[in-house]
Amino acid sequence: MTVLELIEAGARQLEAAGVAYGHGTTNAFDEAAWLVLWRLGLPLDDLDSVSNKPVAQADSGLVATLFEARIATRKPAAYLTREAWLQGVPFYVDERAIVPRSFIAELLAEGGIDAWLGDHTRRVLDLCTGNGSLAVLAALAYPDVRVDAADLSPDALEVARINVARHGLQERITLLASDGLCAVRGPYDLILCNPPYVNAQSMATLPAEYRAEPAMALAGGADGMDFIRQLLRDAPPCMSEDAVLVLEIGNERANFEAAFPALPVFWLDTSAGEDQVLLVERATLTQALARDRPPV
Ligand SMILES: C[S@@+](CC[C@H](N)C(=O)[O-])C[C@H]1O[C@@H](n2cnc3c(N)ncnc32)[C@H](O)[C@@H]1O
């Protein structure tokens, strides 16, 4: 069998088993390609150059075992390969942290928030850092900033520590255990946050692949806004005068707007559309609080 034939057979197997995607791939072929190429030790980003390569029987056996594990455990591929890629940057991941897939990564890599940044942007907070991927990408995108990366989960922080070291960023990224903003040391010029925001109804019907991730990384209460309500209340004192907060909310725009009807925000364009990530300026948050119409 060739590499391509193995991938096509694997994709048919994944489809027949009804596995769920969304942790780095969106379809059976891409997921199968990832698993096959990784297992064979081939480059993940250049299928064309290896697609006709014959695969030895023993290697086909190793691939078959990996597909069996993907189907039997329903774990996202990244938990089996121990690696996830965001914007071309590799990250270690295991079951202690959610598989990184934030759309904020695109904004960092493509300059989507640069209009709000400038010489004043010195201190960045990645709140809810998980495996530390956004903190690393922010440090790579903005070489002059220092980044604090905070999470409530000691397990996630251990994974983040591995990634900070992997990218040699120990001097510029500080990991902090913090419940929301309780233990961080502002003021920050930029806060990035991909918080737990999945509403209770959606949590109840999540595919097994998502249930393989830490529940505290996903569950945001009845309307998904539990963490975000507290964050918007607490954020202004942690922000410098021109600071902005970039917040991912997934598919919860309707719940966000119901919870904060009077809060003007900028919706940022990502490959997922214009309603998954928003930006709010400190002045806007402060005014909303001062008007006695807090955004909560
Ligand atoms: C959706 S994940 C995002 C992880 C990472 N930023 C990413 O994009 O892959 C949410 C993270 O928030 C953390 N978390 C949940 N509740 C928290 C809290 N009260 N304070 C700080 N972090 C919290 C979880 O441990 C998890 O790592």
- For CA atoms 227, 232, 237, 243, give the dihedral sign: positive
Average pLDDT of the chain? 96
Instruction: Give the residues surrounding ligand 1 with Cβ less than 6 Å away.
Output: 97-98, 100, 102, 128-130, 133-134, 151-153, 156, 178-180, 194-196, 216-217, 227
Query: How remote is the CA of residue 219 from the centroid of ligand 1, in Å?
Result: 10
Buried/exposed 13-23: b ≥16 CB within 10 Å, e otherwise? bbeeeebebeb
Query: How remote is the CA of residue 53 from the centroid of ligand 1, in Å?
Result: 41
Give SS3 for 287.
Answer: helix
The predicted structure's pLDDT at residue 295: 54
pTM of the model: 0.95
Q: In angstroms, what is the C-alpha Rg of the chain?
A: 20
Report the residue among 23, 152, 159, 161 best suited for mutation to probe ligand 1: largest number of ligand atoms under 8 A from its CB: 152
Ligand 1 atom with minimal separation from the 156 CA: 27
Q: Which residues contact 16 (CB under 8 A, 6 or more apart)?
A: none
The predicted structure's pLDDT at residue 291: 75
Question: Taking the mean position of all CA atoms in its chain, how far away is CA 220?
Answer: 15
Burial of 262 (0-12, 13-18, 19+ CB in 10 A): exposed
In the predicted model, is pLDDT for residue 23 greater than 90?
yes
CA-closest residue to ligand 1 atom 4:
130
Local confidence band at 289 (pLDDT 50, 70, 90 cut-offs)? confident
